[in-house]
A and B are shown apart, each in its own frame.
Chain A
Amino acid sequence: GQSLEQPSEVTAVEGAIVQINCTYQTSGFYGLSWYQQHDGGAPTFLSYNGLDGLEETGRFSSFLSRSDSYGYLLLQELQMKDSASYFCAPYNQGGKLIFGQGTELSVKP
C-alpha cells in the first residue's frame, strides 16, 4: 500500500515564503512529484525529484530526502494567484500516480 501525509491547510501573506511538507510510504519508489490545482481546475505539474536534494524552478523549489521518506515544496515571493491546493505524489514502479489529501494554501494580502 501507500500512505502520504501533508498538512491540510496553510495560510500565508503575499511576498512570504511557505513550505509544504510531505512524508510518504510506498513500495518501488522512484521519485516525488508535486502538482498544483486551482479550485475547479485540473492539476498541473510543478516539479519532480528523482534524486535527493533541491530542485529549483523559478519561485518554486522542491526537496527530497529518500532516507527520511520526506519531501517539501517551497514557494517563495507568494502571490495571490498561488492560492490553490498542492499535492505531493510519489512515482513508483507501477507507473500510477496516487495523490495525497493535498494542502490548501491561502495567500492573504
Chain B
Amino acid sequence: GAVVSQHPSRVICKSGTSVKIECRSLDFQATTMFWYRQFPKQSLMLMATSNEGSKATYEQGVEKDKFLINHASLTLSTLTVTSAHPEDSSFYICSASSPIGWGYTFGSGTRLTVV
C-alpha cells in the first residue's frame, strides 16, 4: 500500500514549451503532496507544497508562475514547467505522507531534459 505513481518518467522538450508532470496516489488520499527538484549529485530541494483544493505554497526562490501546481483532487497533483529552458533540466520528484507509519512515499521521478 501507499503507492505514488508519477508520469512521465522521462521527457525531452524544446525550449519555450511547457511540460506537465502528474503525481497520483494510487491507494490512498493525499490532501498534501510535495514537489522536489534534484540536480545531479545534489540533494532534493523542496520546491512547493501542493494542497488539495487550494493554492500551492512555494519555497523561497521558486517562481510560482514558472512552476504551476494544481491539486484538483485527493489523488492527483500536477506540476507544469512553463516556458522551459535548458536550466530547468532536472529530476523532478513528488511525494506524499504515507498513511502507513511515519514515512513519506515518493513517486519514481521525472527526468526532464530541455533542448
Contacts and interface: CB of A to CB of B under 8 A. Distances in A.
Interface stretch (B12-20, B61-69, B71-79, B98-106): B98-106
A59 interface: no
A97 B46 contact: yes
Main secondary structure of the interface of A (DSSP, over half): loop
Contacts of A96: 34, 46, 49
Interface of A: 31, 33, 41-45, 48, 50, 87, 91, 95-102
Contacts of A45: 98, 101-105
Contacts of A98: 46
Main secondary structure of the interface of B (DSSP, over half): strand
B32 interface: yes
25 contacts: A33-B103, A41-B108, A42-B106, A42-B107, A43-B95, A43-B106, A44-B106, A45-B98, A45-B102, A45-B103, A45-B104, A48-B101, A48-B102, A48-B103, A50-B102, A87-B43, A95-B32, A96-B34, A96-B46, A97-B34, A97-B46, A97-B104, A99-B46, A100-B43, A101-B43
A50 B101 CA distance: 12
Category for how many chain B residues contact A:
20 to 34
B44 interface: yes
Contacts of B109: 41-42
The 7 closest A-B pairs by CB, nearest first: A45-B103, A48-B102, A42-B106, A99-B44, A101-B43, A99-B43, A102-B43
A105 B77 CA distance: 33
B73 to A, nearest CB: 20
